[in-house]
Chain A
Amino acid sequence: MSNGPLEIKAISGHAGPVPGRDTSRDYDVCKLVDVTTCIGCKACEVACLEWNGYPFRETVFDNTYQTMPDLAWNYYNLIRFNEHTASDGTFSWLMRKDQCMHCADPGCLRACPADGAIVQYANGIVDFQQENCIGCQYCVTGCPFNIPKFNPETKKVHKCTLCSDRVGVGLEPACIKACPTGCLHFGSKDDMKDLAGRRAQQLREHTAHTNAGVYDPPGVGGTHVIYVLHDISNPEAYGGLPANPRVPWTVKLWKGPLKWLGNLAMFGGLLGVTLHYLRFGPKQVKEDHAEGKS
C-alpha cells in the first residue's frame, strides 16, 4: 500500500465508541515551534500551500510583512508578525507560525455533530474529513484558537491536517521539512516536550529571555503543536495566542451534560416505548371497513 492509513482515536458526531480503540499501539506526534528561532521567512506557508495544491489567493499590502490578516480555508498556516515593546523598553519583532494546534481535547471535534467529519487519529492529529462535513461551522465555535475556516462555495470547513497523508507514510509534515532554521521540529510528543523544555531552560539561563517557557495549554488537554516562547507570561503578544485556551463552555455543555440529558431523554423515550409494548403489546390497527365505508 503506497499510502498508509492512520488509526482513529475519536470521531465526531459518532454514536457509540470508536471501533477498535486502544487495540493497538501508536505514539503521539507533535510539532514544536521554537518562536525564538523563527525568522518569519514563510517557508512553512509556501511548503504548506505547495503540498496541498490550493489555488493562489489575492493579497493586499497591509502595512505588515504578514501575508494576510488571518488564516483562510485554503491557507492553513500563517506567520503572525508583531512589533513588540516589552515593559522594560526592549524592542522585539515577534513572529509566530499560527495553525491548528491539534488539541488533545479538540473543541472542534467535540462540537461537530456530523458523523466522521472530524476525526482524531491515535497519533494525535485532528483531521477534517470534508465529505462528511455538513457545513454547520460548529467546529469554528468550538475551537479556542480560531482556526477552522469555512469555504462558502463548497460549504466545507478546512484546516491544517498536520499533513496526515505524509505522516501516514512516515514522512514529516511539509512545513516541518521546509523550515530553514529548525524553528519547527517534529517527533513524538514526549521528545518534543523534552526538547522544548531544554530549549526554554537554555534561553532562561544563557540569554536575556529569563521568562522563556513552553506553551502546551492544559485547558485543551495539551496540544500536538507546542511553542517555545521568549516570554511565557505573555502569549497574547504573539498575535493573539490565548493565555489559557479552553473548549467553550457552550460546547462542553452541549456535548457533555446536555448530551447526557438528551441521551437520557432518548433512552427514557425508548424505555417508555418498550414498557408500553411489554404492557400493551403491539399496536392493533382495527380494520373497520364498514366504518370506513360508512
Chain B
Amino acid sequence: MSASSDVGYHAQRQARWHYGEAVFWLVVLACGFLFPSRYLIMTDILRLALFAISLDLILGYAGIVSLGHAAFFGVGAYAAGLLALHGIINEPVLALIAAGLAAMVLGFATSFLVIRGVDLTRLMVTLGIALLLEALAERFSNITGGTDGLQGIEMQPILGEIPFDMFGKAGFFYSLAVLFVLFLLARRIVHSPFGLSLRAIKNNPLRAAAIGIPVNRRLVAIYTLAAFYAGIAGALFTQTTAIASLDVFAFDRSADLMLVLVIGGTGYLYGGLIGAVIFRMLQEVFSTITPQYWQFWIGLVLVVIVLVGRQRLHYGVLFLPNLLIKQIAGRKAVVTVPESDA
C-alpha cells in the first residue's frame, strides 16, 4: 500500500465518483428498457444485490462473517407481508421502511451476541439465530401461515400511484430505485471516517482499539445497519412477489448470499451487485438446460473458480476492458479489484 501520509489522499480519491460507476448504473437502468420480458429475473437480481450489499457491509468492511443473514431478510419479508396482509401500512414505501426498522431492531439486539467470539463461532451463532427464527415462524403458524406461508397478500400501488403489474415492470423500477438510494447511502457511509474506522477494525481490532476506536460500538452500529439493509431486501421480496414463506429464513438463502459475495468480491460494494448478476445468470442458464441436475454445474463452476483463483479470474475478466481504457483514458484509469479477503 502507500505511506501513511497518503492514506487521507487515497481515501478521498477512492471516495470520488468514478465515471465508470455512472456508466454502470446507466447500463442497469437501460436493462430495464432493453429487456421488458425479463423484469422478473432482473428484479430478483436487484433484491439479491441489495441483500449482498448488506452482507458486504459487515463482511467486507468490518470482517464479521455470517451464515445467518437470512434472519434479517426473513424478518423484513414477514414484516412487510403482515403489514400488507392486515392493512396496517398499505403504502409500500412506508411499509418497506417499517419492515427495515423491524429487522434493524433484531439486528441491534443480536449484534451483542455476534461481536463476541472468533469467525467460526460467529458463523454458527448467526446461523443458529436464523434457524431459531425459522423454527419460531413455523411454530407460530397462526401468525405466519407456517409452512404454507403468508397467502393472499395484495399490494397497494406505490406512493398511491403506481400499481404492481403482472409483468413486474413496476416492481423492477421500484426495486432499482430502492437499491440505488440505499447504495448511495452505503457508499457515503463506507467512505466516511466511520467506514474507515471499520476497515481499521477489520485489519486489526487490537490496533484499532489502541488508537482509540470504540471497536464494539462500531461493530454494533454497522451490524445494525446491515440488518436494516437485509430487512429492506426481504421486504422488497415480499412486496414484489406477494409471497412470504418459511424459506425466507432458510440456510440456503444465507449460503447462496455468501457465494454471491465471494464470487463478486468483498469490500467494494459493487462485488455484491456483480456477484448477484453472475450467480443468478448461472443458475438460470443451468436450470434451463437441465432442471434436474443444474446444481452439479453450479458446483463445478464454484470449484473451478476457486482452483483457478479469484484474483486470476478477475484479472482475466478485466483484461479486455482495461486494454480499451488504456487507449481512451490513459494508464492511470485502469481498473483493479481490491485485494480483499476474510
A and B co-occur in one complex:
no
List A residues at the B interface (Cβ < 8 Å).
none
Q: Report which B residues bind A (CB closer than 8 A).
A: none
